[in-house]
Structure 1
Amino acid sequence: MKLRDLAHARAGDKGDTSNIALIAHDPAEFGWLAEQVTEARVKAHFGAMVGGEVLRYALPQLGALNFVLHGTLGGGVTRSLSLDAHGKSLSSSLLEMEIAPPPGRG
């Protein structure tokens, strides 16, 4: 199943770093998302686009995960010539990740 079936996302930026907040549609499924969407899986999903480390911060009280992707924006927003200089489309890209369905939602 696509990650978008269980969550929505919002991207932000600071310099050459992008952050993506991933928020569960149903807070009861947050634990499942936290198991499925790891730092390693996010880094693998984006591949060579992420030049640095990926950090994950869990916010269970909000049903959210915040991913910080270092070295992602081609040198930084003001220096990048890429079409999506702020990396806003990265949240949509993350939601395309395939994950296993939660128990009972196969």
Structure 2
Amino acid sequence: MRLRAIAHSRTGDKGDTANVSLIAFDPAEYSRLEAQVTAERVRDHFAGIVTGGVVRYALPQLGTLNFVMRGALGGGVTRSLALDAHGKGLSALLLDLEIPDAEG
């Protein structure tokens, strides 16, 4: 299943760094997100887009994982030639990440 089935996302950007939060619709799904969506998986998922490191911050009280991705915006929003390479585009791409469904 894709993450969008159990979570939504919010994003922000500053310079060449993107900040992407993954928020469980249902707090009961948070532990599943925490187990399946690691910094390494996110880095692999964004291969070719993110050129720097990815750090994950867990916020269990909010049912949220926050990912800080360096080198994610083609040099920065104002320098990039890509159309909407920031914010909404990155959150939509994260929500396409596949994880096992509840039975798998």
Decide: shared fold, TM above 0.5.
yes
Give, in whole Å, the separation in 1 of the partners of 2:65 and 2:26. Answer: 13
Within 5 A, what are the aligned runs for 1:30-41?
30-41=30-41
Tell me how many residue pairs correspond in the alignment. Answer: 104
Give the corresponding residue for 1:83.
83
Give, in angstroms, the shift of residue 88 of structure 1: 2.1
Give the corresponding residue for 2:51.
51
Residue by residue over 1:27-81, the C-alpha shift from the partner in whole angstroms, topping out at 9 and shown as x without a partner, is 0110111000000000111112110000000000000000011001000112112
TM-score, scaled relative to structure 1: 0.92
For the residue of structure 1 that corresponds to 2:52, the secondary structure is coil
Give the corresponding residue for 1:13.
13
Runs of 4+ with >3 A deviation: none
Give, in whole Å, the separation in 2 of the partners of 1:47 and 1:11. Answer: 18
Unaligned runs of 5+ in 2: none
Contact between 1:13 and 1:86, CA under 8 Å: does it hold in 2? Answer: yes
| Letter paired with 1:30 | Y
